[in-house]
Amino acid sequence: MRTGSARYLSAVKVLLIEDEPELRRSIRTYLQGEGFVVDSANDFPTAHEKTTQYIYDAVLVDITLPKGNGLDVVRELRAKHPTTGIIIISAKGSLDDKVRGLDLGADDYLPKPFHLPELVARLRALIRRKRFDGNTAIELDELRIVPEDKLVEVHGQRVDLTIMQFDLLLFLVANKDRVLSRTAIVEHVWGDMAERLDHDGFLYSHMKNLRKKLLEKGCRDRIQTVYGLGYRLSTRA
């Protein structure tokens, strides 16, 4: 869906509300590199002003803000712009903050520290849900993915993937042409609350299987291993 993704990605406007300057800069640069239009606010009054004046597709909001609370931003936004996607990015990685944030109408909750590819993947999933009610396919030339149906096709032929392989592929596609570290991938697939398993070797064999399944159906060899770092899904020929 090159044309399709270009159509909606070019227009996606994101407001980043984060008071830590270095983190703000990193997120901003990374998201811009992914084609998002990023506006930012560093405290509550600025956030309030911007959310009142403009309409964003998505707002990333930190809970602890100078001169106010991010949860209030969530409440205000939800009342005014129900279609805006809201992701809470918080250092207060506690369960009740998560529950409270989601109760107030946030769409997702991402505890710090997070991987930027994870943020991108969630942001894309959110935009997809908000804009197209989830009825959208992601297309990369011969590769077609329908996230809601967990469907993957190559040249119109269905590829049978396990849930985990599907998650892996979706994560790679959401961050196409980016290097994804192994830890980012593992954390995406297994979450971070529970104890970590030693699965680097497992990830490797899974990646190999995924690649094999795609190649068998005639997909281009898109999944590349990047040195000792991780993987990348390439859209380039």
Partner 1 sequence: MKLLQRSSLYQLALAVPIVIVGTAIGYWLVSAVVKEEVDEQLTFRSKRIAQDLRNGKEDFTTGASSEMMLVVPGVSAGTMFMDSVMPEPEDDGELMPWRIGRFPAEYADGTPCTITVGRSLLETEDLVMGIAASMTVLLLLVVLANLLLNRWLSRKLWKPFHHALATLERFRMDAPSAGALPASDVDEFNAMNRTLDTMMMKMRADFTTQKRFTEQAAHELQTPLAVMQGKLDQLIQSPNMGEQEAGTIDGLFQARERMGRTVTHMLLLARIGNRQFAPERIDWSALFRDQHAALEDLITERGINFTMHEEEACRVRLHPLLAELIVANLLRNAVQHNIPSGSIEVAIHASSFTIRNTGPELPVDPTTLFDRFAKGDPSSASTGLGLSIVKEIADGNGLLVSYTISHGTHTIAVRNG
Q: Which parts of this chain interact with partner 1 (CB under 8 A)?
A: 20, 22-23, 26-27, 29-30, 33, 91-96, 98-99, 111-117, 162-165, 178-179, 181-184, 187, 190-199, 202, 205-206, 226-230
Query: Considering beta carbons, is residue 8 or 190 the nearer one to partner 1?
Result: 190
Q: Which residues contact 134 (CB under 8 A, 6 or more apart)?
A: 128, 147, 148
Residue 211: CB atoms within 10 Å:
19
Tokens standing for 133? 């009610």
- Three-class SS state of 54: coil
User: Please, what is the minimum distance in Å from the beta carbon of residue 6 to partner 1?
Assistant: 21
Cα distances (angstroms) measured from residue 117 to each of 30, 47, 70, 122, 171:
9, 24, 23, 9, 8
When the beta carbons of 58 and 184 are compared against partner 1, the nearer one is 184
CA 40, CA 77: separation in Å to the nearest integer? 15
Q: Give the shortest CB-134-to-partner 1 separation in angstroms.
A: 21
Helix 70-80 with 44-53: angle, nearest 10 deg: 10
Length of the chain: 237
Q: How near is the Cβ of 194 to partner 1 at its closest, in Å?
A: 4
Distance in Å, CB of 215 to partner 1, minimum: 19
For partner 1, which is the closer residue by CB, 68 or 93? 93
Q: At what angle do helices 182-190 and 200-216 cross, to 10 degrees?
A: 90
Smallest gap, in angstroms, from Cβ of residue 217 to partner 1?
Answer: 20
Residue placing its CB nearer to partner 1 in the complex, 75 or 182: 182
**Minimum separation from the CB atom of position 181 to partner 1 (A):** 5
Cα 217 to Cα 127, 138, 168, 212: the distances in Å are: 29, 18, 18, 9
